[in-house]
Chain A
């Protein structure tokens, strides 16, 4: 499909990474979405980055993320994700979107 294939149907029940406009990073299982990119994430956690220490996970459970506030939705490759030693990843938190 050349275009128009922008829904998230193929991502349902897979792990997705969501970057929000305020620079936060959520990872969870996609359970639902709508045309406004509102997302429903199951078993969601936030990944908190800092330069001083490795990435920390904050468990959040079921989350609804409003589409307005979403910048990127990534399909997570679970195998590759498990290979990365996230607790040793030091990174500055993402800056927020400035329009």
Chain B
């Protein structure tokens, strides 16, 4: 549940989601659920010439199971909070 809670704090921030087929989608994080499925608003595909498939898509849902990376906005990440949270989780 740690990452679910953590992603909830990032709602409204701009993130880039890289999928397991190398497609990378940037957008504003709108919502996240327990499976880490995410909804992004105002999406833009990185490398639109190679991947024009999503040209007419504004908002999208991405299934958690196909996400490889989520690139977070560096300026809104408090590493200390993450450290504490992961340690607490590890201790159980």
A95 x B22 contact (CB < 8 A): yes
How many CB-defined contacts (below 8 Å) exist between A and B? 101
A75 and B19 in contact, given A3-B8, A25-B53, A91-B53 (Cβ under 8 angstroms)? no
A6 x B66 contact (CB < 8 A): no
A2 and B31 in contact, given A49-B53, A71-B63 (Cβ under 8 angstroms)? yes
Does B70 have its Cβ within 8 Å of any Cβ on chain A?
no
- Measured between beta carbons, the chain B residues less than 8 angstroms from A25 are 53
Cα–Cα distance between A90 and B5 once the two chains are bound (Å): 41
B63 x A37 contact (CB < 8 A): yes
B51 x A74 contact (CB < 8 A): no
- Measured between beta carbons, the chain A residues less than 8 angstroms from B33 are 3-4, 6
A19 x B53 contact (CB < 8 A): yes
Interface centre among B33, B51, B61 (most CB of A within 10 A): B61
Residues on A lying within 8 angstroms of B by beta carbon are: 1-6, 8, 17, 19, 21, 23, 25, 37, 47, 49, 67, 70-78, 80-81, 83-84, 89, 91-92, 94-99
